Amino acid sequence: MNGLDGWTCTIFRNEGPVRSSDLILDAELVFAEEGRTVGPDGLITYVWDAKVRSVNPGACFKFAGWRRAGRSADGRKTLLQKRLIHIPSPVVDKSPLAGRGRVVAT
């Protein structure tokens, strides 16, 4: 409906002690490790400002590298977006994730 071609995070709620931005980053990593691809608009989500008890709605997504990309058609929600690029790891990489690539935001 918004004309964007990407994966949308429709529900997110942290009910534990781990920082929300870390949960979001971990989910992005799992997403990438599974070899999933996103459309040209990357990852998108809306934050309903009036329903969040924060002076900075969407802060956890922003801390995870997401950027404000506009408003919903009705003006009540903030659109946040993160574009991802999959970059293959170098052959000399000896990390546990070697050969599985890494994800960077643009």
Residues 55-106 pLDDT 10s: 999 999 999 999 999 999 899 999 999 987 654 444 444 545 444 444 444 4
- Of the pLDDT bands very low, low, confident and very high (cuts 50, 70, 90), residue 18 is very high
Q: Which residues lie below 8 Å from residue 33, measured CB to CB, with a gap of 6+? A: 97, 100
pLDDT at 54 over 80: yes
- 37 vs 74, more confident: 74
Predicted local confidence at residue 7, as pLDDT: 87
Per-residue tokens: 26: 């971990």
pLDDT at 23 over 60: yes
CA angle in degrees (0–180, nearest 5) for 55-48-16? 75
Length, in residues, of the chain = 106
Q: State how far the alpha carbon of 62 is from the alpha carbons of 47, 67, 84, 95, in Å.
A: 11, 6, 15, 27
